[in-house]
Amino acid sequence: MNKEWWKNAVIYQVYPKSFFDTNDDGIGDLKGIDSKLDYLKELGVDALWISPCYLSPQIDNGYDIADYRKIDPMFGDNSDLEKLMQDAHSKNIKIIMDMVANHTSDKSVWFEESRKSKDNYFSDFYIWRDPKEDGSEPNNWGSNFGGSAWTYDSNRKQYYLHYYGKQQPDLNWENPKVRQAIYDVMRYWKAHGVDGWRMDVITSISKNQDFPNNPNPHNLQYVVGNQNNGPRMHEFIHEMNQEVFKPFSMMSVGEAPDSKSKDARLLVEPDREELNMVFTFEHMHVDRKPGDVNGRWAIQPVDIVQLKKTLSNWQNTLDGHGWNALYFENHDRARTPSRWGNDTKYRYESATAFATVLHGLKGTPFVYQGEEIGMTNPHFELEDYEDIELKTNYDKLVKQEKTINDVDFLKAARKISRDNARTPMQWDDSKNAGFTKGKPWFKLNPNYKELNVSNDLRSDKSVFKYYQELIKLRHEEPILKDGTFELLLPDDKNIFMYTRTLDDKQWLVIANLSSETQKVETLNKYVDFKTVITNYDGKNGEILGPYEARILKK
């Protein structure tokens, strides 16, 4: 087996809860994934990343794990996962599981034991600190899900740390027993067939043991700051590599909030033996007002110049030093046509234009379920949303701190909230889009009668078929894997244009990321180039229609 198989691969993310339900309980399940393998094979993907399906109280949809070794009954059982892995492998599809190693659920026996006393085996599995003299929290750190990052436990008379919900206590990575316990779990799943790992918030595992207050420019009670990239992070990840990834040849992609391209280089430089790739957050912040007290809810129109700058910075910084993970969508992100494109008149065009610029880059492209048919944000009302992040941030920002009003918060939620990507997969135009015969756990996007897999496949503007082509190119054309990258027209506000070059071969990737027709004079230099793929009619003039995209070759 080619050890670096992931460099030629396209990886498809499944959010199991919303993918396909086979037992009519309204919740997607592992058998549901199994039964769609032929569909995924048809799309052409090489591997599936499956979001957490372990035993969990589901306060954060499975990112709160109570037992790492047990599949949650809502998704099936361990043998269903084994069967899924076998069936996937028989079709040459690899399985990447999601490892949430920064925190567990408060319902994990590890935590239940830990909170019992200060001197049992699990006491130091979590991060416990005494209150300050006045009884308050050890420092001003804020949780990503609102309030303090510390919660008081009346039994231990101490606070425990949680970067996310209070039901998600952070593990104490300073404790070697914790690290070994996590490595053990990863080896356990390797023994059952898993091919690699997506490491949830891996840059958060090491905490500054001085626990200094975060800078507090807005004078808030609790501040969500950059508590990532702690002092022992590289040491821990390297250890994990030696204990797990390397000896068992498992692929690794780490989620890296707050990492700049230079930080990422240290995480993915092959000689350092840490991770194969990381997911950056930087390029996803190009529609956010910088430095605003409302954080990601302070939205602004997408800044294409900034998007190009960020992506090309990552391309260039990692070139020859590491490998990029490429994505626009996942279970924490909104749907691209609604977020950055045009989800009404130019849905097909904008979905495929963004896909073209992403899949033309150097790195491994990730496709999130539904992205391959151009699914859109559902434009819900506030009461329709489910997500803990949205609810806790609403309470904090609208109700308590009053830094944003209802109307603007809802506007932001419709653009960027995580729930936008979590509505059930739209398979066909039957009841509940063919996702379930029962009552779906989460409301469907009302547009499923028109927008669904079966309609898309019948349409002469099929997003699926376009992705299929892009994936095929990734498999067949070495230039996409190895070609160097050069950004052209960096200051153009609408056009994303770059070349990939390998030996005497050159490809030009170009997309108009606006709803207006654009004239690109530079294109005249490429009149001899032939069309590799386009979402328009293939005429190679200097005029690009709304969201027109082309890949051309010399």
In the complex, which residues of this chain contact ligand TEU (CB under 6 A)?
60, 63, 100, 144, 164, 200-201, 255, 257, 296, 331-332, 389
Comparing C-alpha atoms, which of 347, 328, 554, 371 is closest to residue 468? 371
What is the bridge-based pairing of β-strands 47-50 and 94-99?
parallel
CB of 466 to Ca ion, least distance (A): 31
The token pair that represents 233 in the structure block = 């992070």
Q: In this chain, which of 5, 7, 8, 23 binds Ca ion, going by CB under 5 A? A: 23
CB of 105 to Ca ion, least distance (A): 21
What does R_g of the chain's alpha carbons equal in angstroms?
23
Query: What does 332 interact with, of ligand TEU, Ca ion, none (CB < 5 to 8 A by kind)?
Result: ligand TEU
Specify the residue, 253 or 358, whose C-beta has the smaller distance to ligand TEU.
253
**Looking at residue 448, what DSSP letter applies?**
G
Q: Which residue in this structure is represented by tokens 């659920």?
A: 105
CB of 504 to Ca ion, least distance (A): 53
Specify the residue, 280 or 445, whose C-beta has the smaller distance to ligand TEU.
280
Comparing C-alpha atoms, which of 147, 159, 132, 140 is closest to residue 219? 140
Please tell me the distance from the alpha carbon of residue 149 to that of residue 207, in angstroms, as a whole number: 13
Query: What does 63 interact with, of Ca ion, ligand TEU, none (CB < 5 to 8 A by kind)?
Result: ligand TEU
What is the bridge-based pairing of β-strands 47-50 and 11-14?
parallel
Catalogue the E-assigned strands of 210-363: 251-255, 277-279, 325-326
Query: What does 29 interact with, of ligand TEU, Ca ion, none (CB < 5 to 8 A by kind)?
Result: Ca ion
Question: With binding defined as CB under 5 A, does residue 477 bind Ca ion?
Answer: no
Q: What is the DSSP string of 329-366?
A: --TTS--HHHHTS-SSTTHHHHHHHHHHHHHTSSSEEE
Query: What does 23 interact with, of ligand TEU, Ca ion, none (CB < 5 to 8 A by kind)?
Result: Ca ion
Query: What does 21 interact with, of ligand TEU, Ca ion, none (CB < 5 to 8 A by kind)?
Result: Ca ion
Specify the residue, 60 or 329, whose C-beta has the smaller distance to ligand TEU.
60
CB of 53 to ligand TEU, least distance (A): 13
Please tell me the distance from the alpha carbon of residue 274 to that of residue 144, in angstroms, as a whole number: 26
Q: Which residue in this structure is represented by tokens 């010399």?
A: 554
Backbone torsion region of residue 157, taken as left when φ is above 0, otherwise alpha when ψ lies between -120 and 50, otherwise beta: left
Could you report how far apart the first and last alpha carbons of the chain are, in Å? Answer: 33
CB of 35 to Ca ion, least distance (A): 11
Question: With binding defined as CB under 5 A, does residue 282 bind Ca ion?
Answer: no
Question: With binding defined as CB under 5 A, does residue 27 bind Ca ion?
Answer: yes
Residues 337-356: x where in contact with Ca ion by CB under 5 A, - otherwise, as a string: --------------------
- The angle at the Cα of 285, spanning 289 to 313, to the nearest 5 degrees, equals 125
Whether residue 255 lies in the annotated active site: yes
Please tell me the distance from the alpha carbon of residue 320 to that of residue 76, in angstroms, as a whole number: 43
Q: Please identify which of the residues 255, 287, 343, 419 carries the catalytic annotation.
A: 255
Specify the residue, 139 or 144, whose C-beta has the smaller distance to ligand TEU.
144
Query: What does 81 interact with, of ligand TEU, Ca ion, none (CB < 5 to 8 A by kind)?
Result: none
Q: In this chain, which of 20, 29, 172, 200 binds Ca ion, going by CB under 5 A? A: 29
CB of 201 to ligand TEU, least distance (A): 5
Q: Please identify which of the residues 80, 106, 137, 200 carries the catalytic annotation.
A: 200
Whether residue 332 lies in the annotated active site: no
CB of 363 to Ca ion, least distance (A): 34
Specify the residue, 296 or 362, whose C-beta has the smaller distance to ligand TEU.
296
Query: What does 257 interact with, of ligand TEU, Ca ion, none (CB < 5 to 8 A by kind)?
Result: ligand TEU
Long-range contacts formed by 462-468: CB under 8 A, 24+ apart = 463/348, 463/351, 463/352, 463/355, 463/372, 463/373, 463/374, 464/43, 464/372, 464/373, 466/351, 466/352, 466/355, 466/533, 466/535, 467/43, 467/355, 467/367, 467/371, 467/372, 468/42, 468/43, 468/44
Specify the residue, 389 or 477, whose C-beta has the smaller distance to ligand TEU.
389
By annotation, the residues acting in catalysis are 200, 255
Site of interaction with Ca ion (CB under 5 A) = 21, 23, 25, 27, 29
